[in-house]
Amino acid sequence: MDTNLSIARYFRSRGRYKEAESLLGRALADHRNLFGSNDVRTLKVMHLLARVCTCLGRYEEAEPKFLQVLAAAQEQFGAAHPATLAIVNHLAGLYESQGRFNEAESLYGRALAGKEKQLGADHPSTLTTVHNFAYLRHQQGKHHEAELLYRRALAGAEAKLGLEHPDTQVTQEHLAEHLEEQGRYEEADELREQMS
């Protein structure tokens, strides 16, 4: 059982979502049988399966899984627990992928406020939510807010994770793309030169 779950996580990390989904489906059934539907271990598998469904573009399957995991996490850990906030962040990403920007905005705001309070403003998990919120603002055409959030996420990632970390580089690239879309090519080029 743990082997299937480990392999599923590996497949997910490599973008092999169909293979991950197959293993996670089996792992979820096994976990439900052994531990019950509301056990933390079962909920972790369901959360991972919801994320894989999102990556596969199967939003209608992902949403009820996220909502079930979120309800259980809120009941077991509380609304402000970091594990609950991680689920909130992922559900916001699902809504963002569907173009449900108002719902995504509300959830990102909740996740960000909670993570800042529970983990601190410069914790890597908080910075991930800042980056996600920046990307949403970018999609909404709220360029000034998006840039401020991208710069905050980038400064925090550089300080906490270093310039070579993939999260830092993704944030840097998204900020560069954001600047380019506004015709600020020199700034975007300078940012990319820092990455080389």
Q: List the domains of the chain with CATH numbers.
A: 1-77 (1.25.40), 105-195 (1.25.40.10)
Per-residue pLDDT reduced to its tens digit, 6-34 = 999 999 999 999 999 999 999 999 999 99
pLDDT at 170: 95
Instruction: Tell me the H-state helices in the chain.
Output: 2-13, 17-35, 40-55, 59-77, 82-97, 101-118, 124-139, 143-161, 166-181, 185-195
pLDDT at 1: 61
Per-residue pLDDT reduced to its tens digit, 140-163 = 999 999 999 999 999 999 999 999
pLDDT at 4: 82
pLDDT over threshold 80, residue 196: no
**Is the Cα dihedral 53, 44, 84, 120 positive or negative?**
negative
- Residue 123 DSSP symbol: S
pLDDT at 139: 94
Per-residue pLDDT reduced to its tens digit, 100-129 = 999 999 999 999 999 999 999 999 999 999
Helix (H), strand (E), coil (C) string for 157-170? HHHHHCCCCHHHHH
| Residue in the block written with tokens 């506004």 | 182
**C-beta contacts of 107-116 below 8 A and 24+ residues apart:** 108/132, 108/133, 108/136, 109/133, 110/85, 111/85, 111/86, 114/79, 114/80, 114/82, 114/84, 114/85, 114/88, 115/82, 115/85, 115/89
